[in-house]
């Protein structure tokens, strides 16, 4: 059974947590408005996820539906955001900021031991941080679903509940559905083999859709990449950050996860190169720093980066300025730059930060750079991976000579 707490007290706890996390006054105003309405609706009742759902249904009927565009959309969508935040805080004692939360989750008691031991096993097997984040996301969604159904431990899971969970995945990319089902299958199997549950829940799960590399990678021409980079507003601190990050992605082909994780000590300014251990492959990678990349990083460090003791080069720009930028925020900023640059985007293709890495590989191939050399530049653990880019149609793409000359900007 979950803890008992009055709706009024839970709203107050979450409000204090939001203030502690440095949420803006505008956000706090919107949160407090919903807190007040929800408190009046609930009266002296204890909190449950079902009462939050009932409140949303009531507001939906009062407003004649929620709008998703126009001047009222932001206010109305906060009803969903606040009720969702209350459910997360009630269940886990923390608040998930979008999908980029990297903190420590306090799992509900019934799931605590099995989940923590399952994650510990994956860490010992050498699974990446991103994979552990996926486990957190998947198990979190499962627990919220169970709580909504008044089920508080794994032994209460039925085939019907699993079916409801799978239905909630409709609309996600096949690859996303595949890894969520795969993680749950492993989680349930671990729970059964270690006697946390009395029956084999994993057999309720359907077969995950098979992912494959049938889709060609999206690539940009040299002119498009330059237009995209030039579209970033470097007159503000966030723009200086995104500009430097985009140059690193375009010129060096680094994965966005590795760019986000860049530390100040990773750069050797005298030899004009950066050295990292890649998050995905765990392999070392050393790359020269081109002139424009070096100056962009320096400009951000001197004129854009908030004062913080965070060891990362690139940080969030919301108080207290601790931690790495959110991937969701960076993705949104990338899309805004595409629109400002007037670059047409095919709806069937994913055009995020990784497309800059694809573009670098493709342009190097066009310039007759060997597959093994491309693998070295991109830090592939297996040279065969680079052959994926050989499937791209080269027609219509301009030849791109990316200057990797490092000028003496350190002494300028």
Comparing 52 with 1, the larger pLDDT belongs to: 52
Tens of pLDDT along 135-159? 988 998 888 888 878 888 899 999 9
pLDDT at 59 over 80: yes
Distance, in Å, from the CA atom of 100 to the CA atom of 257, rounded to the nearest integer, reads: 12
| Per-residue confidence (pLDDT) for residue 379, from 0 to 100 | 64
Closest CA to 365 of 322, 407, 310, 402: 402
Q: In the chain, how many domains are there?
A: 3
- Whether residues 303 and 263 fall in one domain: yes
CB atoms within 10 A of CB 188: 25
Distance, in Å, from the CA atom of 253 to the CA atom of 247, rounded to the nearest integer, reads: 9
- Whether residues 79 and 144 fall in one domain: no
- Whether residues 375 and 299 fall in one domain: yes
**379 token code pair:** 């830090």
- Whether residues 244 and 372 fall in one domain: yes
pTM for the whole structure? 0.52
- Whether residues 18 and 46 fall in one domain: yes
Report the run of H or E that residue 285 belongs to, with start and end.
strand 284-288
Can you tell me whether residue 52 is helix, strand or coil?
helix
- Whether residues 43 and 187 fall in one domain: no
Q: Is residue 397 part of a domain?
A: no
Q: Is residue 409 part of a domain?
A: no
Distance, in Å, from the CA atom of 226 to the CA atom of 398, rounded to the nearest integer, reads: 13
> How high is the mean pLDDT of the chain?
80
- Whether residues 240 and 332 fall in one domain: yes
Tens of pLDDT along 293-318? 999 999 999 999 999 988 999 999 98
Q: Is residue 403 part of a domain?
A: no
CB 303 within 8 A of CB 310: no
Q: CB under 8 Å to 40, separation ≥6 — which residues?
A: none
> What CATH number should be reported for the domain holding residue 139?
1.10.150.130
- Whether residues 239 and 387 fall in one domain: yes
| Per-residue confidence (pLDDT) for residue 297, from 0 to 100 | 95
Q: Is residue 181 part of a domain?
A: yes
> What CATH number should be reported for the domain holding residue 387?
1.10.443.10
Domain that holds residue 33: 1-92
Q: Is residue 404 part of a domain?
A: no
- Whether residues 293 and 378 fall in one domain: yes
At residue 25, φ and ψ (nearest 5 deg) are -60, -35
CB 355 within 8 A of CB 219: yes
Over residues 346-375, mean pLDDT? 69
- Whether residues 279 and 341 fall in one domain: yes
pLDDT at 412 over 60: no
- In the listed set 62, 92, 122, which residue is the last one of a domain according to the structure? 92
CB 95 within 8 A of CB 31: no
- In the listed set 162, 177, 212, which residue is the last one of a domain according to the structure? 212
- In the listed set 42, 65, 92, which residue is the last one of a domain according to the structure? 92
Closest CA to 211 of 172, 178, 181, 185: 178
**203 token code pair:** 């057999």
**Range from 173-177, 288-292, 406-410 that averages highest in pLDDT:** 288-292
- Whether residues 208 and 304 fall in one domain: no
Q: Is residue 400 part of a domain?
A: no
Q: Is residue 136 part of a domain?
A: yes
- Whether residues 371 and 282 fall in one domain: yes
| Per-residue confidence (pLDDT) for residue 99, from 0 to 100 | 44
Q: CB under 8 Å to 288, separation ≥6 — which residues?
A: 272, 273, 404, 406
Over residues 203-228, mean pLDDT? 72
Q: Is residue 406 part of a domain?
A: no
């Amino acid at each position: 059974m979950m803890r008992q707490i009055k709706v009024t007290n839970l709203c107050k706890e979450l409000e204090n947590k939001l203030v502690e996390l440095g949420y803006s006054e505008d956000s706090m105003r919107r949160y407090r408005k919903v807190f007040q309405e929800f408190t009046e609706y609930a009266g002296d009742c204890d909190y449950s996820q079902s009462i939050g759902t009932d409140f949303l249904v009531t507001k939906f009927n009062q407003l004649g539906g929620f709008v998703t565009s126009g001047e009222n959309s932001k206010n109305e969508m906060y009803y969903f955001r606040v009720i969702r935040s209350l459910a997360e805080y009630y269940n886990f004692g923390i608040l998930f900021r979008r999908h980029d939360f990297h903190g420590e989750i306090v799992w509900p008691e019934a799931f605590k031991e099995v989940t923590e031991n399952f994650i510990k096993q994956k860490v010992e097997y050498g699974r990446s941080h991103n994979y552990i984040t996926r486990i957190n996301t998947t198990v979190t969604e499962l627990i919220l679903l169970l709580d909504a159904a008044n089920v508080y431990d794994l032994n209460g899971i039925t085939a019907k509940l699993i079916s409801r969970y799978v239905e909630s995945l409709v609309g996600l990319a096949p690859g996303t559905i595949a890894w969520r089902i795969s993680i749950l299958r492993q989680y349930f199997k671990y729970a059964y083999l270690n006697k946390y549950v009395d029956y084999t829940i994993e057999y309720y799960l359907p077969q995950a859709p098979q992912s494959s590399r049938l889709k060609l990678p999206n690539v940009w021409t040299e002119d498009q990449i330059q237009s995209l980079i030039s579209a970033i507003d470097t007159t503000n601190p966030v723009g200086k950050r995104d500009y430097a990050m985009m140059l690193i992605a375009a010129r060096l082909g680094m994965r966005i996860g590795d760019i986000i994780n860049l530390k100040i000590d990773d750069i050797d300014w005298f030899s004009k190169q950066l050295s990292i251990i890649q998050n995905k492959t765990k392999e070392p990678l050393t790359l020269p720093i081109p002139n424009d990349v070096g100056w962009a990083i320096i400009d951000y460090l001197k004129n854009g980066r908030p004062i913080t003791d965070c060891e990362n080069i690139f940080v969030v720009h919301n108080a207290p300025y601790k931690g790495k930028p959110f991937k969701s925020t960076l993705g949104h900023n990338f899309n805004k730059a595409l629109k400002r640059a007037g670059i047409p985007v095919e709806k069937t293709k994913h055009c995020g930060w990784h497309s800059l890495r694809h573009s670098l590989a493709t342009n190097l191939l066009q310039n007759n750079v060997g597959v093994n050399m491309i693998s070295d530049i991109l830090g592939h653990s297996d040279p065969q991976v680079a052959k994926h880019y050989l499937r791209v149609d080269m027609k219509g793409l301009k030849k791109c000579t990316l200057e990797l000359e490092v000028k003496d900007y350190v002494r300028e």
